[in-house]
Chain A
């Protein structure tokens, strides 16, 4: 298709040389924005479903009290939770697990060395909206110092922020699409001006507008594909490098953030998309501009 003879010397246009690189740059940006979008969406979804439905109840350990008292306090907290509407499941987190959770901050410690708080992992029905304030009040009346840790609140804010970032990424993608179209439109208009004489000859020999448009469109399609491949070629190593860097810091802090297979597939589609958009834009531009001629 690209080796096709054209009646217009379109490949000699100065813009033909720059167009693939302009498109490459935009596809590169689009690949980053799209990866961000997919990654953020994935993240927000996992947070939404995985963590928003849990609470943690923390019962401070009283080093002076004996084991039996502590156990009784824990048990009354468990009872209270099981009577609370909306609580699906409550389970005490074992000492070992607590130590493990704390290890990044405390290093390896022995269970007997420090007074450890007891933690209760509470699963709630997200539909029932457990009133955490009320629960907090009820618990601390009987158990001094009991804390209800509601991940939901800050998580919801975090998810909100992620959603905003997603919107931003989607906007960036949209703007990139518009830029590609504007660039191709500009290049095509220039081509129409440069080749006005030859186009008139084609018209006068009986060419339909679509015959001329096809030449511009297949040229733009080729350039768009080439630009898209260049851009993707630049984006993939960049994404790998970013992924590697993120992998090194995420250990305890960031939830795992990786591009699913379909995400990579959607990136691979970008060159096809840029080719398609370029071709279609060129065709549209030519058809619209030629209509003004006799």
Chain B
């Protein structure tokens, strides 16, 4: 029946995306099962100096409310978080966020590698990492760190990506578990949802 096998309970999902990922993100968020059982943390490249608008644009389409976390805010299930403009977003061991303004990485702040890497450190094998369309290599290493710590890795099918540099970078760094189209990612999340007793 299902092509996905779930052999454990995951505790969080991190999603990275850049150029060409907006439509995909919207599709994922608008098809998310209600009361999704685990937090979704998104790090998307965005205009550095536009503080407002993006989170609202995503929220309108999303089933769950999308928020930009404050520094030291606790991570809660059922919520969708978006890295704020011009800050790196890290996950800390006590399951809360912290922000920083360190140098850009791969010309990006927020840098996907930082969010993915710190998530992998905290959630280890209980993490699912998803990397979508994008025009640079940011996130590639982050996916490797997730895989190295036993997490599950998914990239958007390169042929479906507007720009496939990002998922391809990840595929170069590590053995990605699933290469999926957005529709399949939506399906994956629906099946994942069924694993949790509500």
The answer on A and B forming one complex is no
Chain A residues close to B by CB (< 8 Å): none
